[in-house]
A and B are shown apart, each in its own frame.
Chain A
């Protein structure tokens, strides 16, 4: 039976810099008395989520949106400042051990045990979760095979490529057959081929009943994998729905970007605004114009005619179909890659 998860009013305020920013610092070596720095970052600001059993759920947002903090809170690694979360029926902060049994976690940066070989990483992980010796050997063999790591199984992971590390991380997370799998930026830094393989593995695992929550700033990934997507920014939920719903929710989901030879006359912009189906016209640069519209191609002849009439020469036309990228832009005024 697949299980779901939910979270209510999650807030997390960091009062000290994150470990990476403070890398290598232990004792402060303060010879002079420095004023205590006021460090306060609100990573999560009242986030609520509900992921249905058996779903692939995506958290989409730019860097620093609070995605990893959300995963940290849901996986017992970060204590929320306020709010509660449940994995199935278990409250995360109160029943940590029970929760840890149910979840598998693939971190953003591989954290594989460097002192062990790939196979040992899997078998020891199985042992931590109390699998009997025979079963963990069998399962490790199976997963190594499925993740195409068999030929490297008995080597230390030190020399593994990024893709191999990532695959092994996922294999490890699956060793104890978790009910809910968390993947934090699973395909960051992977080549397109490895990414496709990864998506396939994630889908197959989902089909066998695992609920999956993944974070990404790649909307193509969210689109390809997720049943539902939550868009987060500054620790808040901005939009939620299936990729198709979300895309159709933008007024005029299409964006037609025109590049002119020179600055187009103001009158042209006014007439373009009056075209049927066009909801908004913006000029992001001196020679560029963005039309937000409910259609793409069919508008082109009319645009070409109007431009011709206004003696503005079109150099380039780019039509982008409704996408999560456009949606994010629409909701936040920022691009995902900003």
Chain B
């Protein structure tokens, strides 16, 4: 690999992200903050939901913010750069193997997902007020999860960005992203699906479940969550799956 080229491409993405800082911030923060405010503040304060729920919700929100920003930051530019503006050709013609161009996209997406997590965690905590009860006694679990979840987000972004047509972006959100979020156990723990045994099994194909349950296991271990082995197994499996699929699609797009 050509390190100079790789770093220059990362620098380019960082430069563009800096330039669009405010837009990016709003894009990643706004929706999770609305959720946090309505579910974590309004409904808990008004007594519609028990205050305990705050701690349940926060890990889900972090996973949601990381996944959304990671997927978005990789998929959207790829869709337009491959199909419309062809901007990616500039990097495909750089003196580096084309696979590394895809890897660079994934690394840039991971960094954005991590940044989103770092911003959402304290802000959401602040908005919810007292009684969230986060525990930071498992820093290595948290670190591993952050890496695995951000990689998952970027890899899903790579897969979608290289598979979805420009006219199908709207469809992608309503058919892929929305169900992923709603059945991603962000608003409820996986164990609460026990009354829906079929659904409980089916949602296990949703990679987001492992992200939300993982953050629950790391940050609020007092709540029920999937066993750690299942969480790490699921995350690693889906990371590899989406990376392999995304890379394959990227190659097919990159070379005629």
Q: State the A residues within 8 Å of B (CB).
A: 14, 19, 23-27, 72, 75-79, 96-98, 100-101, 103, 105, 107, 109, 111-116, 120, 124-125, 127-130, 172
Which chain B residue shows the least CB distance to A117?
B19
- Which residue in chain B gives the minimum CB-CB distance to A18? B256
Partner of A128, one of B83, B94, B164: B94
**Closest approach, in angstroms, between the C-beta of B70 and any C-beta of chain A?**
18
Question: 1/0 contact trace for B183-218 toward A, CB 8 Å?
Answer: 000000000000000000000000000000000000
Q: Which residue of B lies closest to A93 (CB)?
A: B255
Closest A residue to B168 by CB, please name it.
Answer: A26
Size of B's binding interface in residues, CB under 8 A = 34
* A105 CA / B94 CA spacing, docked (Å): 11
The answer to whether B83 touches A23, judged by C-beta atoms less than 8 angstroms apart, is yes
- The answer to whether B167 touches A128, judged by C-beta atoms less than 8 angstroms apart, is no
List chain A residues, Cβ under 8 A from B255.
77-79
Q: List 26 A-B contacts (CB under 8 A).
A: A14-B256, A24-B83, A27-B163, A27-B165, A75-B93, A77-B92, A78-B256, A79-B256, A97-B95, A100-B93, A100-B95, A100-B96, A105-B89, A105-B93, A107-B86, A109-B86, A113-B12, A115-B16, A115-B20, A120-B15, A124-B8, A124-B15, A127-B4, A128-B94, A130-B5, A130-B8
Q: Quick check: B167 and A97 within 8 Å, CB to CB?
A: no
* Docked-complex contact B256 and A72, CB < 8 angstroms: yes
* Residues of chain B lying within 8 A (CB to CB) of residue A97: 2, 95-97
Q: Which chain A residue lies CB-closest to B11? A: A127
Residues of A with C-beta under 8 A to B92: 77
By the criterion CB–CB under 8 Å, are A107 and B168 in contact?
no
In the assembled complex, how far is the CB of residue A50 from the closest CB belonging to chain B, in whole angstroms?
23
Complex CA gap A97/B40 in Å reads 52
Assess whether A77 is in contact with B94, with CB atoms less than 8 Å apart: no
Known contacts A77-B256, A111-B85, A113-B87; is-contact A101 B165 (Cβ 8 Å): no
Residues of B within 8 A of A19 (CB): 83, 256
* Residue ID in chain A nearest B3 by CB atoms: A130
A116 touches B165 (CB 8 A): no
Q: A112 to chain B: which residues have CB within 8 Å?
A: 87, 90
Using CB atoms and an 8 Å cutoff, list the residues of chain B in contact with chain A: 2, 4-5, 8-9, 11-12, 15-16, 19-20, 83, 85-98, 163-168, 255-256
> Nearest chain-B residue to A77 (Cβ)?
B256
Q: Are B2 and A130 in contact (CB under 8 A)?
A: yes
With A96-B97, A100-B95, A113-B90 already in contact, the answer to whether A24 and B167 are too (CB < 8 A) is yes
Complex CA distance for A27 and B172, rounded to whole angstroms: 10
B168 & A128 in contact (Cβ 8 Å cutoff)? no
How far, in whole Å, are A112 and B85 apart by their CA atoms in the complex?
8
Inter-chain contacts of B93 with A (CB < 8 A):
75-77, 100, 103, 105
Q: How many Å from the CB of B27 to the closest CB on chain A?
A: 15
Q: Is the CB of B87 within 8 A of A114?
A: yes
Contact A25 B165, CB 8 Å, known A77-B255, A79-B256, A113-B90: yes
The docked-state distance in angstroms from the alpha carbon of A329 to that of B9 is 47
Give the residue of A26, A79, A128 whose beta carbon is less than 8 angstroms from that of B165. A26
> Contact at B94–A111, with CB atoms within 8 Å?
no
For B163, what are the chain A residues with a Cβ–Cβ distance below 8 Å? 26-27
The complex places the Cα of A116 from the Cα of B96 at a distance, in Å, of 21
The 6 tightest CB contacts between A and B, nearest first, are A26-B165, A127-B8, A111-B86, A128-B94, A78-B256, A24-B167
Cβ-defined contact, B86 with A24, below 8 A: no
Complex partner residue of A26 from B4, B9, B95, B164, CB under 8 angstroms: B164
Which of chain B's residues have a CB closer than 8 A to the CB of A105? 89, 93
Q: In chain A, what residue has the closest Cβ to B166?
A: A24
Contacts of B86 in A (CB 8 A): 107, 109, 111
Residues on the A chain within 8 Å of B90, using CB: 111-113, 125, 128, 172
| Residue among A101, A120, A128 having the largest count of chain B Cβ atoms under 10 Å | A128
Supply 17 further A-B pairs (C-beta < 8 A) apart from A112-B87, A116-B15, A128-B5: A23-B165, A24-B166, A24-B168, A97-B2, A100-B94, A100-B95, A109-B86, A111-B89, A113-B90, A115-B16, A116-B12, A120-B15, A124-B8, A127-B4, A127-B11, A129-B95, A130-B8
